[in-house]
Amino acid sequence: MTRERSKVPALFRPRSVIQAYDELSSVLRRTDLSDHAREENRTQAFLATFAAMEGVLREDMDGRLAAPANDVLTGRLRLLSNRARAKKADVSIDDILDAWRLQFTQFAHEIGKLRQYVEYRNWLAHGRCISRPRSGQPMDPHRVADISRRIASLIPTWPGI
């Protein structure tokens, strides 16, 4: 399912958001805040960085599905996309992360770490109104940003994206 993204201003593009939240969380870490405010900032930075990382991966998926490539990752994403289309659904972020683990096996551990936090991200994004998942605390936003940048460095530039 290809989404319209070309009208999104550069400042709100996923890669810019990752950079911005990484800088912001460094500054706020040094500011005199209550423990609660500091924790809440960490949580929000995690949520925003994770969402931006998802945006990077979904942009890449759109690029791959539009290209004639036949590599491991593209083949897996085509399968996921075909399955999702049959169910009239989107490809889940868990499945996209697994597809990346299959292609970049040397980063399987780090990508797997991100995958463990999907449930936690969902809990935050849906207003924390269901029982808290076992993954507990947010992953350090700097760590999410680091992994996201490593993933982004593996992504080619897709025409029109």
Site stretch for another protein (CB under 8 A), options 21-29, 47-55, 68-76, 127-135: 68-76
CA count, 13 A, side-chain hemisphere, 63: 16
Q: Judged by CB under 8 A, does residue 92 bind another protein? A: no
Give the contact letters, 5-44, x = binds to another protein (CB under 8 A), - = no: ----------------------------------------
Residues 106-125 binding another protein (CB under 8 A) are: 106-110, 112
Counting Cβ atoms within 10 Å, is residue 98 exposed (0-12), middle (13-18) or buried (19+)? middle
Site stretch for another protein (CB under 8 A), options 9-17, 75-83, 128-136, 150-158: 75-83
CA distance 156 to 110: 20
Site stretch for another protein (CB under 8 A), options 29-37, 47-55, 72-80, 118-126: 72-80
- Give the three-state DSSP class for 30: helix
Q: Find, among 159, 153, 104, 139, the residue nearest to 25 by Cα.
A: 139
User: Least Å distance between CB 157 and another protein?
Assistant: 23
Q: What is the DSSP letter of 2?
A: -
Q: Which two tokens stand for residue 105?
A: 């096996």
Whether the Cβ atoms of residue 123 and residue 133 lie closer than 8 Å to each other:
yes
CA distance 140 to 25: 10
Q: Which two tokens stand for residue 98?
A: 């697994």
User: Least Å distance between CB 96 and another protein?
Assistant: 14
Interface residue with another protein among 5, 24, 38, 98 (CB under 8 A) is 98
State the residues that interact with another protein by CB under 8 A. 70, 72, 75-76, 78-79, 82-83, 98, 101-102, 105-110, 112
